[in-house]
Structures are given as C-alpha cells and as structure tokens.
Structure 1
C-alpha cells in the first residue's frame, strides 16, 4: 500500500464513524477499485469490511504501481470479490491483465464483452448484462442482479447513440430505503438520451449520486467526436446532482500506427466548460473535479 493511500485509509478508519465507499485508482487513468462497505452482519460472517470490485483493469504497463496487492492476499487468495468490465475495447477489457487474476473471481460485463472473456477460458463465472431498453421508465429495482454481486449492489448500463457512448450505474444500498450511486461515463453521452433522463429524474426508488466518473479531454477521429469531455461532463454533473466529479479516462495516451494519424485528443478544463455553459460570461468557481492519482484513494463521504 502506497503511503498516500495508506494515510487516507487510516484517517478514514480512525474517525470511528460509518464506513463509506472508497475509490482507488489502479493505473492513473481508467482502472479503479470500487470498495463498498458490507452490512454489519456480513462483516462478521465474512471477516471483510468491504466488497471490492475491480473495474476495467489494465495493469500490464508502465502506468502501474500497485497491481501486485490485488492478486494475492496474506492467505494466498485474492482480496477481490468481483471484476466489472464496462466495455469490450482493449483499453477497458484487457485480456493479458485479466489472466493475472484468480479464475474463481466472478466477472460481470456487457453482452459484447462476455464472448471475449469466455474465449480466454480462464474465469469460471462470467455474467453478461444487457443494456437497458430505450423505453426504461426509471424503475431500476426490477433489474435482475448479476450473479456474484450481493443484494446491496446493482449494476446496469445505458447505451447512447454510438457504442462508445454509454453510461454505467453502480448502486449501493446500505439500507432498504437508502440508495447511493457511482455513475460512470468515460466517453460521455448525450444527456437527452431517454433512458438516462428517466434514470436521473424519475428513478424508482430514488437515489443520491455519490460520484460521477467522467473525463475532461475530448477525443476526435478526423471530424467525428468520440469522447465528449468537459462540456458533457459538466452537463451530467449538473443533471445527476453528483456530490463529486472524479476524472477518469483522462490520461495523456501515446498512439501508434494508423491511430496516430486519425485520433486527436484535446485537453479541456472545468473552467473552460463553465465558460461555455455561461456563454463566455464570468466563470464561477463552483465546480471541482477530483483528480485521484495512480495508487491513491478517494473516500466518498
């Protein structure tokens, strides 16, 4: 455990209050450890305080600093409880990294991602979940929970106008009438998407948004914008009423081959997005984007 991450954990645990979800950056870009507190009875029976989900791990490369502790604990078993893969492209579903994990860890992913993982013949439990129907009305309580996930965690995805533009929700229910969400949209999507509007404004049961994980950079392939960046993030932040905006998929990547000629990344700031929102008027400093560095954690208070 790196010193910054360890210090933040110790500060949180020594306050002697209810445990809160924790985000830990695994590669400084888009790979995360999402740690959700277990109910008290489960803590006693399992001996574990958190349910740990590894999200989109890409850990075989120069950006990795802390991957080794994910794979084996002191007893020789991985402390990871589940793996979540939000998208089937290689920077989200990285097979060489996945092969380093214990094959008994349950994996849940999209219908496009499941065949890729099954082809590797590594994991024993793979669950595919479909995108929500465009006619979704907001009642997420009826969504079938993925095997391998406890009753207090629900995950589902909303697809936008293109496969790159999607929105994933992970809802944590610490009590029957309390629901909190971590919302993830690495490339952004149109906020007018009907299923997204239904979730954000007509959710049943209602939930509060702990964190929005969304990047600031725009990505273009020739004249086609594939990643919407800061402006889209600000719109989603406003509509979701998120407590925190955490930057993800925002690193400076090196491209090679044909991609080097086709792809252009434009790095924006939240101040730029606020200026766009206000039509060039004076910028208000009322929005902060949390940058969680490689190996560090962020407690969602």
Structure 2
C-alpha cells in the first residue's frame, strides 16, 4: 500500500485518474477491440447482456481472431515463402492474452472471486470464449500460437482452415463458419452453438472469387435484446431447415474483419439483412499488395473506400499492413503500394476532375478511420 506521500505524488494521482477514466468508460458496456500485434491478430470483446451478468461472472465475451503472436510462418515450403514479424507482438503469448482479458474484467467490475476463468459454456478454464480463423494460410492459422490455446476453447474457421486445425488433434471442437448469403438473411440463423444466442459468426464471400481469398468474417451481436426475444430467434442447425424468423428487434451491430479485403458487391447480403445490421467497425487494410505475375493479394485503400461507402461503418480500422521480414521465392515478386486514406481521396478527386471536367470532392462518408497500432485498443462506442 503506498504511503501518504506516495499517494499524493503526481504519478500516483495520474494513475488514479487514468484508472477512474477507464472504469467510467468500461461502465458504458460497449465492445472493445485490441490489436495484439502489428499485423492482423485481434481480440474482440463483446459485452454480455445484463441478464447474463446479473449473477456475477465475466462482463465480456472474448473472441480471439487470427492469432499469430511469435515465431515465423511458412506456406507451401520455406524456400517458397517464409515470414517473421518485423515488430515483437505487444501481447506475446496466449497467457498474456488471458492476463489482458482479466485486467479488463477487474477494471469493469466483473469476474468475482473463484470465477476468474469461468466460460459461458461452463467448459474449461480459459477466458478466451472462442477463436476465429479466416484463412488456412499460416499467418492467419498459426499452429504454434493456436496450440497455446486451451483444448476446450471452440474454434470457428473457414473450411480449409478447419480441416487443417482438426488434423492437429489439439482442439476438441472445430466448427466451419457458415456463409452469410441471400437477401433477407437473418443473422441469428448463423448463431451456431456453442455461441451464445446474442452472437453469430459468419462469412461474406464474392461468388467470383473461386478461392475465397477476398472474403470477410462478420461478428454480429445484439446485446440489448431481452432473453425472451433471444429465445424466439431461429438458429441454424447442421443441415436442418429452420422456421421463418419472427419479427425482430432492430438493435443489431456487427464488426467486419477482412485482412485481404472484400469486394464491395459481396457485401450486398449484409446490406439487405433482415433484421437490419448496423456496421460498427470495418477492419480492412490500406496496403495494395500483389505478386508481379498478376495475383492480387491485399486489395488496398481504394477498395476499402468503396466498401466503406456501402457500409457507412462508424469506425474503419486498418489491418494486415505490417511489412514483415521475409524470405523465399515469393518475396522477390511482391509488389506493395502504400497510401493513406487522405492520399487515396486526393487520387480519387483528381480522377473525378479529369472525367467530369470540374472540381469534385471525393468523400469517405464520415468514416472514422483509425490506425490502431501494435498493443493499442479502441472502445467501439
């Protein structure tokens, strides 16, 4: 315990002020997004509904996305492609992720004595509720990091990634992420147990993308609904048809994660969802990355601008833009164009002026683009 002199010191007062600010912010009960490395590993914390926290336990439902925290990664073979992070991950291990989660819980007033690691499904002792993996490539599906995660934590992954992860025989349950397709799709139909009924994980893909490289994960949630409303919501069951959805409350939000970018036209099912979904945060990188023989890897900032104009997301956050240390054959053929949002807007404006013959202004529809650095976090208000 600090002495009276220490308690009155500027540093102690600053710490106390910061702690009070954090506590007040956490009391709002909004999602929190943490960037765990300089590349594309994220922790998304979604507040659990008041009814779920009324008897104590954790405040947040925790989704770990594409964890690659240390070590190298290689696809096909090391001579073909191998990479390492250029910057040490701010959160360097799964144990550190657990500590981060618990620190937030303590500040938010959750996790009572003896319940530090209690999960929503009552299985295992990890504070990580679910892991989501968007691609089978090892910078997203990193075995060394994933095998630090407890065996009882469920994994939601795209088909090829799910098959790969199952082959390791580490996790007890691995689920394939369902697609979000068709007009009038109800997000609750993609809430597959063991996900709680107020959260779903789905995937947006472009029909023209045969390899589903330019796709997106969609984390949809409604933490305002009452339990009685959630109980009425239809849920997707493996291979079984579901009843027509009832009339639903419109308070639904989502976070879209697309490390390589997603074509704007692929977002149409999400725009036409029923009940409607508001995009709270759009995670899409700025760098345009390709291979010299014509393969487009990351779609870049101009694609992000087009997609954002459709989504009108409150936040746009960059991802997968770390210029990693690389080796192998592919590294010799990588081409990278780096633009900021402001530079891209100026390019668009110049193009419009040439085409229309008059001064035009390209806008981003009030997107709040934020560069969330290695180890930084954002409250999604």
* TM-score (norm: length of structure 1): 0.88
Q: Does 1:141 align with 2:214?
A: no
**CA distance in structure 2 between the partners assigned to 1:266 and 1:7 by the alignment:** 42
- Match for residue 341 of structure 2 among 249, 267, 270: 270
Contact 1:127 1:147 in 2 (8 A): no
Deviation readout 1:99-158 (Å, 9 max, x if unpaired): 01111111111111111111111111111123344xx11313352322221111111111
Indicate how the Cα distance of structure 1 residues 258 and 118 shifts in structure 2: closer, same or farther if over 3 A, else same: same
**CA distance in structure 2 between the partners assigned to 1:219 and 1:270 by the alignment:** 16
Contact 1:13 1:19 in 2 (8 A): no
Partner residue in 2 for 1:64: 89
Contact 1:71 1:78 in 2 (8 A): yes
Tell me how far 1:255 sits from its aligned partner.
2.1
Q: Does 1:33 align with 2:43?
A: yes
Contact 1:218 1:265 in 2 (8 A): yes
Moved more, 31-40 or 259-268: 259-268
Moved more, 272-281 or 93-102: 272-281
Contact 1:221 1:262 in 2 (8 A): yes
Contact 2:133 2:161 in 1 (8 A): yes
Indicate how the Cα distance of structure 1 residues 230 and 110 shifts in structure 2: closer, same or farther if over 3 A, else same: same
**CA distance in structure 2 between the partners assigned to 1:83 and 1:118 by the alignment:** 14
Partner residue in 2 for 1:98: 146
RMSD: 2.4
**CA distance in structure 2 between the partners assigned to 1:257 and 1:15 by the alignment:** 46
**Greater strand fraction, Structure 1 or Structure 2:** 1
Contact 2:187 2:220 in 1 (8 A): no
Moved more, 169-178 or 15-24: 15-24
* Structure 1: gaps spanning 5 or more residues: 1-5
Deviation readout 1:146-171 (Å, 9 max, x if unpaired): 22211111111111233210022111
Partner residue in 2 for 1:23: 33
Moved more, 76-85 or 87-96: 76-85
Moved more, 124-133 or 245-254: 124-133
Deviation readout 1:24-67 (Å, 9 max, x if unpaired): 01112100000000011211345100001100000124522223
Contact 1:155 1:170 in 2 (8 A): yes
Tell me how far 1:297 sits from its aligned partner.
0.9
**CA distance in structure 2 between the partners assigned to 1:146 and 1:300 by the alignment:** 25
- Match for residue 156 of structure 2 among 103, 108, 111: 108
Deviation readout 1:256-290 (Å, 9 max, x if unpaired): 11011122222111012212333445666855421
Partner residue in 1 for 2:61: 51
Alignment of 1:138-287 (within 5 A): 138-141=184-187, 143-160=189-206, 161-162=208-209, 163-176=212-225, 177=249, 178-193=251-266, 196-200=267-271, 202-222=272-292, 223-280=294-351, 287=367
Q: Provide the secondary structure at the position in 1 that maps to 2:138.
A: coil
Partner residue in 2 for 1:3: none
* Structure 2: gaps spanning 5 or more residues: 1-15, 72-86, 103-113, 118-124, 226-248, 352-359
The ranges of structure 1 where at least 4 consecutive aligned residues each deviate by more than 4 angstroms after the TM superposition are 6-10, 71-76, 280-288
- Match for residue 179 of structure 2 among 122, 125, 131: 131
Q: Does 1:89 align with 2:137?
A: yes
Contact 1:231 1:276 in 2 (8 A): no
Contact 2:290 2:334 in 1 (8 A): yes
**CA distance in structure 2 between the partners assigned to 1:7 and 1:283 by the alignment:** 41
